[in-house]
Amino acid sequence: MNSVLNELGYYFSFPFVQYALIVGVLIALCSALFGVILVLKRFSFLGDGLSHTAFGALAIATVLGVNNEIYVVLPITAVLAVFLLKKGQNTKVKGDAALAMMSVGALAIGYMILNIFPGSPNIAGDVCSTLFGATSILTLDKTDVLICAVFAGVVIALFMIFYNKIFAVTFDESFSEGTGINTDAYNIIIAVVTAVIIVVAMNLVGSLLISALIVFPALSAMRIYKSFLGTVICSAIVAVVSAMLGIVISILASTPVGPSIVVMNILFFVLFTITGRFIKV
Amino acid sequence: MQIECRDVSLGYDGRQITETLNFSVSEGDYLCIVGENGAGKSTLVKTLLGLTSPMGGKVIFDKSIKTKDIGYLPQQAELQRDFPATVWEIVLSGCLGSMGMRPWFSKKEKQLAEENLKKLSIFDLKNKSYRTLSGGQQQRVLLARALCAAKKVLLLDEPAAGLDPVATNEMYHLVMELNHHEGLTVVMVSHDINAAVRHAKHILHLGNGLTFYGETGDYVASDIGKAFLGIGKCRRCDNE
């Protein structure tokens, strides 16, 4: 035990490990907050669809040789998120199908483009790291951490300011609309923030795994908590703890970062499901 | 006169589904909107809430009323039934419409929510989870939420849908009391025609090609009313 702690202490003395932890925790926290809304709006799959599309957009950006890919990827993903959240509400089946179509389509086209116009000698490696998370989380510098912190701050602030309205819009859209709440505006906020989270989080866990960060903490929390506030707080805590444990394990056992975090989330889900059989708070 | 519909015609996708409607709702009124499925009842509710605009005509509100002052009880969606939320959280959310851009609740809203919980005798359910309540209790919670928004008018869309007979009667009784004692104007969509004529002061019947608006007594005596209540002559039986 002592040797493990010593080893941990040794790793934590490196700034890059500290940076990875900070960024990982912040991203997981943001995903969990908006994940609660997406799960309750029956939009669990949105994260998946959007991240695949983001992969396609990323491929295009790479081929175009754009310096900072985020300027291409973020707008495309955001527009799509707005489109899907708005349209999907009324035409449920069509929305589902549209999402499935778009997500696999983007994946295929993205991989095609990367192969036709190879930007680097190691395409398979590039693609694999985009899909399952890069080790780039371990190569962050101070500026990256600052940008991420600002992003997270804005997302969390938005969530807190609009908390009550977001609750109302998620729980009952027709009532909210009928009593004068601008539901369209809040849906757009939710969609855009989701897109931002996905694009930022892609670096951490990769585009195939990002929806795990969105759905797992919320679903775990819902096993035990009966209030909305409780669910939100619990899912935030689960997300943060999973992210920390996942990163630590990946460093100690040299496992890939993204999957390690997701596996921790799965373990929490199992634990909470069993606990929820006996205790509800 | 609180709400007046002048030559209003309803429809969607460019297709008109009602005749032109002319009716008005005055303070303390109890109007029931009845009619066949697809006759435009829900569209009319949305129009009164200002969510859709009529194809023709005008809905005129009295100066003292704004759309956000109307308490609204929508038809319950499947989605809400397993939502993690306490009764308190839901009822309080009814106050949001009148808060403008202010993000958090003040004492005033909490007081209002508490009053309405007591009014509907569900104060002891305050911290209970919504998803564990019975259908009748859930509907009471949504009614309490509507009351938080209702300054003068309460608009109910099939409030008894899916309730058992006892809970249904309780629901209608509650609404009647709110109308009598609180002086709330009630506009209710219902296909429970018997309950409608028992409680309502006015009836608006939307039918395919047949419309009726008037006092409940006149409605019961009218041909369309008799046919709908099942006390008129049945043409098929006469033929036998």
pTM to 2 decimals?
0.84
> Which of A161, A171, A180 faces B83 most closely, judged by CB atoms?
A171
B193: helix, strand or coil: helix
Tell me whether residues B103 and A181 touch, CB distance under 8 A. Answer: no
Strand order in the sheet with B21-25: B21-25, B3-9, B56-61
Residues B148-169 pLDDT 10s: 888 788 888 888 887 888 888 8
Regions of chain B where pLDDT drops below 70: 67-68, 77-81, 208-210, 231-240
Decide: B33 and B206 in contact? Cβ < 8 Å. yes
Question: In chain B, which residues have their Cβ closer than 8 Å to the Cβ of A163?
Answer: 103
Q: How many Cβ contacts (< 8 angstroms) between chains A and B? A: 90
Helices (H) and strands (E) in chain A, counts: 13, 0
Beta strands at B202-206 and B211-215: parallel, antiparallel or unpaired: antiparallel
Tell me whether residues B149 and A222 touch, CB distance under 8 A. Answer: no
Tell me whether residues B103 and A164 touch, CB distance under 8 A. Answer: yes
Residues B22-33 pLDDT 10s: 888 888 889 998
pLDDT, chain B, mean:
82
> Which of B71, B97, B129 faces A226 most closely, judged by CB atoms?
B129
Tell me whether residues B74 and A172 touch, CB distance under 8 A. Answer: yes
Interface test with B, best of A167, A172, A228 (most B CBs within 10 A): A172
How far out from the chain centre does Cα B64 lie? 20
Tell me whether residues B67 and A180 touch, CB distance under 8 A. Answer: yes
Interface test with B, best of A91, A173, A179 (most B CBs within 10 A): A179
Question: In chain B, which residues have their Cβ closer than 8 Å to the Cβ of A230?
Answer: 84
Q: A91 at the B interface (CB within 8 A)? A: no
Tell me whether residues B93 and A168 touch, CB distance under 8 A. Answer: yes
Tell me whether residues A226 and B83 touch, CB distance under 8 A. Answer: no
Q: Where are the alpha helices (DSSP H) in chain B?
A: 41-48, 87-92, 107-119, 135-149, 165-181, 193-199, 216-221, 223-229, 235-239
Tell me the nearest-neighbour CA distance from B227 into chain A, angstroms. 33
Regions of chain A where pLDDT drops below 50: 93
Q: A233 at the B interface (CB within 8 A)? A: no
Tell me whether residues A227 and B70 touch, CB distance under 8 A. Answer: no
Distance in angstroms (rounded) separating the CA atoms of residues A240 and A257: 14
Tell me the nearest-neighbour CA distance from B49 into chain A, angstroms. 6
Taking CA–CA distances from B91, the nearest residue in chain A reads A168
Question: In chain A, which residues have their Cβ closer than 8 Å to the Cβ of B77?
Answer: 172, 174
Tell me the nearest-neighbour CA distance from A166 into chain B, angstroms. 10
Domains recognised in chain A with CATH numbers: 2-203+211-278 (1.10.3470.10)
Length of chain A: 281
Picking from A247, A250, A246, A261, the residue whose alpha carbon sits closest to that of residue A212 is A261
> Which of B74, B97, B142 faces A180 most closely, judged by CB atoms?
B97
Taking CA–CA distances from B96, the nearest residue in chain A reads A165
Distance in angstroms (rounded) separating the CA atoms of residues A71 and A112: 21
Question: In chain B, which residues have their Cβ closer than 8 Å to the Cβ of A160?
Answer: 103
The DSSP-derived string for B18-70 is S--EEEEE-TT-EEEEEE-TTSSHHHHHHHHTTSS--SEEEEEE-TT--GGGE
Chain B contacts in chain A segment 40-59 (CB below 8 A): 40, 42
Tell me whether residues A174 and B105 touch, CB distance under 8 A. Answer: no
Distance in angstroms (rounded) separating the CA atoms of residues A22 and A26: 6
ipTM: 0.83
Chain B contacts in chain A segment 141-200 (CB below 8 A): 160-165, 167-168, 171-172, 174-181
Tell me whether residues B104 and A164 touch, CB distance under 8 A. Answer: yes
Q: A111 at the B interface (CB within 8 A)? A: no
